[in-house]
Structures are given as structure tokens and as C-alpha cells.
């Protein structure tokens, strides 16, 4: 049995914000395998970074850039790190998401991954039956070995379980 305790997958807000109140679905990937696939797909022109949650936003000023050594090509890492830090922070209110972001410098919008990188598809219990049937049919055609699970509310609770 998978251990989803304290995971974003069982967080009610995640299913509310991103899956229309258990009416959508979630793709569960093997993180290492997916990163390898994306590195191959983008010829290593992508990077992943974990979001930092804080009370105040990270500020990036043009004057900081103008006064930095970047202008004189001495050390590009200072400013690049400031930019990454700015785009990798969110309000502490979103900490439950446990988000990782991916930046790609590839000119492609779609990136391939191996079917084996996709561990499971978790369908919300409130997904309309016709959409659920269409999704399951598509899954069986494209990746017949994938695990199909369901996210549902535990009876007399606001907690979500994956079965």
C-alpha cells in the first residue's frame, strides 16, 4: 500500500483547487524517472527546483542587476540565483502543495516521457461517469499497465483516501 500520509495527493485543498472538487484526476509520476525523461526530451535544457514558502515575496530589482557584477560579466551566478529565487517562492499559505517547478529553455512546449515514468492515475470520486469512462478507455489504450486509483472522501470526514 502506498503511503500518502501528509501528501499533497490526499490534501483536500489540492483536490479542490486543481481537480474541481474531486471531479478531475491526478497523474502520479516517479520523480527520478520523469526527470531523466525530461532531461532527454529537452537535451538537458531544463531544471527543477523546490518552491520555498515564506511570509514575504522575494523582490528582484532592475537596480540590483545594474549594480551587480553581471554587467561586467564577472559572475553571472549572482543574478541568475536571484532570478531563480524570485520565481521559486510562494506565500506560506500554499505550503501544503509541496511544489516543485520545472523550467525548460527548450523551444518545444510538449515534452515526452516514458510510459513507465507514469506510476498511476488517481481519479476523483465525483468525476462524471461519462468522463471517467472516456478517461479509463484512453488510459487502457495508451498505457494498459498503469494503476488506476480513486481519491475519495473518507465517510463522516473531510479527509481524502486513495484506493
**Backbone phi, then psi, for 141, in 5-degree steps?**
-80, -45
Name the more confident of 44 and 12.
Answer: 12
Q: Could you give the CA distance from residue 90 to residue 67 in angstroms, rounded to a whole number?
A: 26
Question: Where does residue 47 rank: exposed (0-12), middle (13-18), buried (19+ CB within 10 A)?
Answer: middle
Query: pLDDT: is 3 or 133 the higher one?
Result: 133
Average the pLDDT over 78-100 and give the result.
85
Residue 129: other Cβ atoms inside 10 A: 7
Q: Are 57 and 154 in contact (CB under 8 A)?
A: no
At residue 141, does pLDDT exceed 80? Answer: yes
Q: What is the mean pLDDT of the chain?
A: 86
Residue 156 pLDDT exceeds 60: yes
- Cell numbers representing residue 64 in the block: 540590483
- Tell me which residue of 112, 110, 113, 122 sits closest to 146, measured CA to CA: 122
Bigger pLDDT: 90 vs 84? 90
CA 98 to mean position of chain CA atoms: 9
| pLDDT tens-digit series, residues 42-76 | 777 788 889 999 999 888 776 666 665 555 554 55
Q: Locate cell 553581471: which residue?
A: 70
Amino acid at each position: 500500500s502506498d503511503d500518502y500520509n501528509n501528501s499533497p495527493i490526499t490534501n483536500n485543498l489540492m483536490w479542490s483547487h486543481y481537480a474541481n472538487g474531486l471531479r478531475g484526476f491526478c497523474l502520479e509520476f516517479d520523480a527520478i524517472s520523469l526527470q531523466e525523461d525530461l532531461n532527454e526530451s529537452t537535451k538537458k535544457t531544463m531544471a527543477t527546483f523546490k518552491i520555498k514558502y515564506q511570509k514575504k515575496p522575494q523582490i528582484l530589482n532592475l537596480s540590483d542587476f545594474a549594480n551587480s557584477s553581471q554587467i561586467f560579466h564577472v559572475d553571472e551566478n549572482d543574478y541568475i540565483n536571484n532570478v531563480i529565487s524570485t520565481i521559486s517562492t510562494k506565500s506560506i499559505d500554499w505550503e501544503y502543495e509541496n511544489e516543485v517547478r520545472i523550467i525548460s529553455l527548450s523551444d518545444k512546449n510538449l515534452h515526452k516521457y516514458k510510459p513507465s515514468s507514469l506510476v498511476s492515475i488517481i481519479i476523483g470520486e465525483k468525476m462524471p461517469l461519462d468522463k471517467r469512462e472516456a478517461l479509463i478507455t484512453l488510459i487502457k489504450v495508451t498505457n494498459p499497465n498503469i494503476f488506476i486509483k480513486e481519491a475519495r472522501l473518507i465517510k463522516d470526514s473531510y479527509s481524502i483516501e486513495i484506493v
